[in-house]
Structure 1
Amino acid sequence: MKSKLSFLLLSLLFYHYANAQTAPGFKELLDSAMVRDADLKAQQTRNKLTVLDQHKLKDVYLPTLEVSGMASYLNATARVISPELNLQPFLNIPEGKYNNNINVSGFSGLAKADAKMLLYSGGKVRQLNKALEEKRQSENILLEKTSDEVAAVISRAYDQLALVHQSKKVLDEAKRRLDANRKTADKALGYGLITPYDHKKIELAQATLDSKMAEYEGKKELLLTQLEVLTGIDKERLRLIEPVLVPVALPAPQKTIDQRAEIRALDHGINASGFKIKAEQTWWIPKVQLMAASYYIGLYGARVKSSDNIIPPIPAIGYPGRKLDWKPTNLNIFPMLTAGVGFKWEIFDGREGKHAIETARIDRELLQNQKYDAMRKLTLNQANNQSNYNIANSQIALKKKEKEMANNALVQAEKEFRYGMSKSTQLIEAENDLEAAELDYQNAIFNQRRAAVEVMRSTQELDITKLY
């Protein structure tokens, strides 16, 4: 058992060590950036609100149960004008002489359980649910746009790192040539073939090259820091990346502007507004609800009394009359049940329903205008990106030719300098021209790749596998 555990621990350590010593590929960089991107996470979090609204809308048909209660002191007086007991037929007492005040006092208690359930909403809930589904699809499509933006940012940073890496190779090659030419200059100076001034020119060129090397290190550190922030991958692993810039050959687009995330999201938004209009148009349809309630009413320490006789006096038999003074221990009413079906029909609502319909129609019109404007701008954007890509391709051919010419010129300048037929100034100019031509060629490839990314994004066809 111990040997198996030791083997497992060693395997894990070896895996982490090997992983730490391996340069991350572009896919790992992109996946890590997708997980960490703040805009993408915020958008995904906001989309959860729409899903929650869908659940809330479905739950309106669930029954609700509410329990309430109250305890208080009751003191109420009622004035009774008509007599409770009419003895006129027997005792010849005048009618209407028995005004009385009945007082009820004591501690009261009330408890109520109330249940409700929506049976029919007039079709409004169904239409609102369709509108929310369209809204959810629109938000999910916009996630594609945000994901493409993240991919474009990582791709740019990765290619910038490749450009800096290629620049380092150009500078290293220039340094190698300058070191060789420095030895030739030292010999030429010893033989008196060149002046000390010409020799200083070589030294100045080397110092300039050292300055460019320092600038390269600064740019590289900045790019590594950017990638570390975007992906969360340790900078030491990022240093192992050795990317190479290669021109991108794009196939013909398979999609149109209509497939852009913005357009598809607006289409779903327009559909959602259509369902919202239908939902608002149900304002006049009756809504039906099932209701049930149970009550408990109690009166404790009660006293019911009257201010005057409730039974008038009878002089003929010597009866003095009698007031009401009743002290029951408690009074309880339970259960008191009610149940039934109720409806609500708004025949005239002060035109609120019509105003809500017009508001929903205006919202749909605004979305339609946004789609029209977006189509125009995206069409122009696609044409501009395609033009930039074509120009970038032609620039690669041009810069490649310039690099070949600069390389031939440097070879010729080195031969002439070696045999004392030219000064160091001409050699340094040729060296600078080749260095600039090589860097321009790498920049041309970088620009072409950036243009290719934008062309693919024009029709929502960004495919990283075509780039790396």
Structure 2
Amino acid sequence: MKINLLRISLFCLVINLLPTSSMAQELDPALKVLIKKGLEKSHTVNVYDLDAEKARVDQKLAKAVFLPKVTLNGSYTRLNDDITFDDETQNLLMSTQKLLIKEAAGIPFNSPFPENIPLQQAENLQDKNILKSSVDVDWVLFSGFEATNALKAGKHKEASVKFAGLAERNRIALKIIETYDQLALVNASEQVLSASADYLEEQEYYVRKAIENGLATPISRKKIELAQQQLAGKQLEFSQNKTLLIEVLHQLTGENKEQLKNLQPELNSVMPDNLMNTKKRNEIKALEEAEKATDYKAKMEKSNFIPKVALKGHYEFLEDDLSLLDPQWYVGVGVRWNIFDGNESRLKSLKSKIESRKYREQIEEAEEMIALSSIKAELSYESSLQNTQIAKKEIELAEATYEMLDKQYKNDLASINEVLDALKDLEQAKFQLQQSYFEQRRATTALLHAKGLLNY
């Protein structure tokens, strides 16, 4: 740990002493536009957004458990016959009715029943035509913390999906930034080749004049022509690379190819700011939220053994077709207690706990990989800075060597091969300088991403 802190301190001291331009995530406006379009075009990002929306719906479903459920019912039933009392019960009811009438009229018990007094027949227990219309109310009063834990699991799942979406956005932005810088490297390389072409054109003019004056042989012209052909091959290669990079940017962003061809990105030395600050990466946040979600899921499944309390209500709108035993309305409170479900809930809870431990392992692995990528980016940046200084010195030496050999050749003190070799060295040194700038930008972006400081 002390070694890492010392390396970081020395790294920050070195970059603070260098007169480089500050990156500070000040991306080119054109690059910001491309990143925005790339994020809007990405189907993967849209899928993460939809998953987050689905997690919010799951939370609403968990809350809806505590809302009363109201159901309207309607039905018509026809029986084969009316449901009535049996004959013995009907006779008993009729005899009882006669006794009550005699008692009310003051007729002696043993006297015959008067024939002019009508008797009422016993009603049917249930008519054969049954028309019903009712309303039911079911209201969960206590879910045994099952709905509460499901709600918390849904919230953490939503957060996990959001952070995963942000991590995917970073990956897309990194890809677009790298491709954009590669395009800048190609443009810079084309400028180097253009300068080399000017040098060769100057040499060709001198050799042609020298041949006309008998001071050089046609072989020298052939060598110049060969060098020009080789240069044309390099120019074709870079042109093809540019076409390919524009196609990649088009695929990533959906931007018009003609607009992409008009881009003029540039490479320069960069310096990341505030590297001593570190923010937790979205990948880590996503895994931590997923871990919490599975913990609450395990609690939810385990709470299946806690008693649940619910209210039940029923009301019949039509009374005429109710049987003599049917109530018009009722209200009740019930308790459901799952004592043993064949270990199903316990095994589901155990499965969620194992999944939670899996996320913990992934978190630790991700933290190790991020720390390693951070150190790797620091070392790459240090190397690119050193390569930049070397390339600048090589350019100075190559330019001085080329100028010297050019003068010597014009004074017949050096061969055309030496001049062309010096030109190749100068060209290579300029390539190396642009490559070091490109590596600086790549390392800076990787370092900011590793530290959670990437902004766009």
Q: How does 1:288-437 map to 2 (within 5 A)?
A: 288-295=309-316, 336-437=328-429
Which residue of 134, 152, 155 maps to 1:130? 152
Mean Cα displacement is larger for which, 188-197 or 165-174? 188-197
Shift of 1:292: 1.3
Contact 2:51-2:161 within 8 A present in 1 as well: no
Shift of 1:178: 0.9
Contact 2:211-2:218 within 8 A present in 1 as well: yes
**1:27 match:** 32
Contact 1:162-1:244 within 8 A present in 2 as well: yes
Which residue of 274, 287, 296 maps to 1:266? 287
Contact 2:82-2:128 within 8 A present in 1 as well: no
Is the alpha carbon distance of 1:243 and 1:272 closer, same or farther for their aligned partners in structure 2, counting shifts above 3 Å?
A: same
Which residue of 237, 246, 271 maps to 1:249? 271
Structure 2 residue 276 is matched with structure 1 residue 284: no
Contact 2:70-2:138 within 8 A present in 1 as well: yes
Deviations 1:405-456 (A, max 9, x none): 2222211221122222222222222212211221122112111211111111
Counterpart Cα distance in 2 of 1:234 and 1:351: 60
Shift of 1:335: 7.8
Helix, strand or coil for the counterpart of 2:305? coil
Is the alpha carbon distance of 1:226 and 1:356 closer, same or farther for their aligned partners in structure 2, counting shifts above 3 Å?
A: closer
Deviations 1:250-279 (A, max 9, x none): 2452344x7122222222222223323333
Deviations 1:85-132 (A, max 9, x none): 369xx9xxxxxxxxxxx9999544344422211111122222221222
Q: How does 1:141-156 map to 2 (within 5 A)?
A: 141-156=163-178
Which residue of 44, 50, 65 maps to 1:39? 44
Aligned residues: 398
What percent identity do the matched residue pairs reach? 28
Contact 2:83-2:128 within 8 A present in 1 as well: no
Contact 1:24-1:238 within 8 A present in 2 as well: no
Shift of 1:177: 1.1
Deviations 1:216-250 (A, max 9, x none): 32222222233233333333333332222112222
Structure 2's unaligned 5+ residue stretches are: 1-27, 96-109, 111-123
Contact 1:270-1:367 within 8 A present in 2 as well: yes
Contact 2:85-2:125 within 8 A present in 1 as well: no
**1:233 match:** 255
Letter in 1 for 2:207: A
**2:64 match:** 59
Letter in 2 for 1:416: Q
Deviations 1:146-186 (A, max 9, x none): 12112211111111111111112111111111111111000
Q: Decide which structure has greater strand share.
A: 1
Structure 2 residue 194 is matched with structure 1 residue 172: yes
Give the aligned CA root-mean-square deviation in angstroms.
2.9
Is the alpha carbon distance of 1:254 and 1:279 closer, same or farther for their aligned partners in structure 2, counting shifts above 3 Å?
A: farther
Which residue of 433, 441, 446 maps to 1:441? 433
Counterpart Cα distance in 2 of 1:152 and 1:162: 15
Counterpart Cα distance in 2 of 1:142 and 1:39: 11
Which residue of 98, 105, 109 maps to 2:131? 109
Structure 2 residue 207 is matched with structure 1 residue 185: yes
Deviations 1:186-217 (A, max 9, x none): 01111222221221111121222223223232
Counterpart Cα distance in 2 of 1:397 and 1:276: 57
Structure 1's unaligned 5+ residue stretches are: 1-22, 91-101, 299-329
Contact 1:76-1:104 within 8 A present in 2 as well: no
Contact 1:285-1:345 within 8 A present in 2 as well: yes
Contact 2:130-2:322 within 8 A present in 1 as well: no
Counterpart Cα distance in 2 of 1:158 and 1:268: 33
Structure 2 residue 179 is matched with structure 1 residue 157: yes
**1:95 match:** none
Shift of 1:74: 1.8
Counterpart Cα distance in 2 of 1:394 and 1:271: 45
Helix, strand or coil for the counterpart of 2:80? strand
